[in-house]
Amino acid sequence: MRAVYIEQPGGIDAMRYGDFPTPQPGPGEVLVKIAFSGVNFIDTYHRSGLYKLPLPAVIGSEASGTVEKLGEGVTGFKPGEHVAYTLARGSYAEFHAVPASNLVKIPDNVEDATAAASMLQGCTAHYLTHSTFPLKKGQTALVHAAAGGTGRLIVQIAAMIGARVIATVGSEAKAKLTLSDGASDAILYNSQDFVAEVKRLTDGKGVEVVYDGVGQATLLKGFDCLKPRGMMVAFGQSSGPAAPIDLLMLSQKGSLYVTRPTLFTYIASREDLEWRSSDMFRWIGEGKLKINIDKIYPLAEAAQAQADLEGRKTTGKLLLKVG
């Protein structure tokens, strides 16, 4: 089969496109014929070596496709069914042997490309707004990188709940996008001090929660945006790892909370995975949640897709077309 893999960690030039052994499903696994693979920051962490892998390794952690073959003991799926998954590495390939516990069926009213674009970022936005800090109507959230793939979904879901969203973005064009997604205010972080703007927009009170997937460039300053007993949710590090946090600072700034959640622990149970994915697919089908696919690249251009993602040249989801 054709696949994108790495033999050593590094930059985008470490990615290889070529023949790779076709996997076979083991016990409890399903061989999926991939249609579309999502492109996510976790893929760049695998490629760079920030998250270490046994090598050589096919990268990619999210996809949609059809069931090709069932491994021993698998029930509940049959060949030809349309399925999607996340957090099973190896999706930049024509075939992937995926644990059946990671798979969900795609409803008939959701397209394969949309499903692939929504699993990782959609389930992330769901757990952030429903579990890590369960947003309530009338509360205010600060969302960094609000015009990115995950950011746009957080904004839409928060607005659906009835929360106020203050968004940070990098350009006027991205500001228009996040406002159309339901944000009440957009701050241009390249030209405005987002802490001062948040204080101005909240009459000095601050926000209940900060959703920060950026890391180094924003995290420490973001604590100054929180109300007393507010929560910093640091779920990513697209600008690099943030500096260590001084616990005493949390008390000095108002008995603040900080957490570094991961999607893995929030969909570890089958119940959680089905809750989050079924909510997401239902909202998509009802037109309440819009999945913005910014660009679809051929599998052979995976390196360019990652370069565009890391360069913040995108305003939505990037996909690789495989099948």
Residue 33 · residue 314 · CB < 8 Å: no
Q: What does pLDDT average to over the chain?
A: 94
Quote the crossing angle between the two packed helices 302-310 and 41-48, to the nearest 10°.
110
- pLDDT higher than threshold 90 for residue 236: no
Residue 272 · residue 245 · CB < 8 Å: no
The confidence band for 190, taking pLDDT boundaries of 50, 70 and 90, is confident
47-61, 93-107, 237-251: segment of lowest average pLDDT = 237-251
Helix residue ranges, H only, 147-216: 149-161, 172-181, 194-201
Burial class (CB in 10 A: 0-12, 13-18, 19+), 156: buried
Angle at alpha carbon of residue 33, lines to 92 and 109, rounded to 5°? 100
CA torsion, points 29, 32, 36, 38, in degrees to nearest 10?
Answer: 10
The confidence band for 316, taking pLDDT boundaries of 50, 70 and 90, is confident
Specify the pLDDT at position 24.
Answer: 95
Helix residue ranges, H only, 60-193: 112-127, 149-161, 172-181
**Based on C-alpha coordinates, what's the Rg of the chain?**
20
Residue 98 · residue 7 · CB < 8 Å: no
Q: Which two tokens stand for residue 258?
A: 């900080």
pLDDT digits (tens, 9 = 90+) for 273-291: 999 999 999 999 999 999 9
Specify the pLDDT at position 98.
Answer: 97
The confidence band for 310, taking pLDDT boundaries of 50, 70 and 90, is confident
Residue 159 · residue 134 · CB < 8 Å: no
Residue 6 · residue 55 · CB < 8 Å: yes
Residue 320 · residue 298 · CB < 8 Å: yes
pLDDT digits (tens, 9 = 90+) for 15-33: 999 999 999 999 999 999 9
Helix and strand counts by DSSP (H, E) for the chain: 10, 16
Specify the pLDDT at position 244.
Answer: 86
Q: Where do the domains of the chain lie, and which CATH numbers do they carry?
A: 2-119+291-321 (3.90.180.10), 137-260 (3.40.50.720)
Residue 158 · residue 137 · CB < 8 Å: no
- pLDDT higher than threshold 80 for residue 100: yes
CA distance 105 to 138: 34
- Nearest Cα neighbor of 93 from 196, 6, 203, 153 is 6
Residue 141 · residue 162 · CB < 8 Å: no
pLDDT digits (tens, 9 = 90+) for 193-207: 999 999 999 999 999
Give residue for tokens 């008995």: 255
Average pLDDT over residues 282-306: 95
- pLDDT higher than threshold 80 for residue 312: no
Length of the chain equals: 323
CA distance 2 to 286: 36
The confidence band for 292, taking pLDDT boundaries of 50, 70 and 90, is confident
- pLDDT higher than threshold 90 for residue 304: yes
Residue 298 · residue 305 · CB < 8 Å: no
The confidence band for 167, taking pLDDT boundaries of 50, 70 and 90, is very high
Average pLDDT over residues 258-265: 95
Average pLDDT over residues 119-131: 96
What are the b/e assignments for 64-84, b being 16+ CB within 10 Å?
bbbbbebbeebeeeeeeebbb
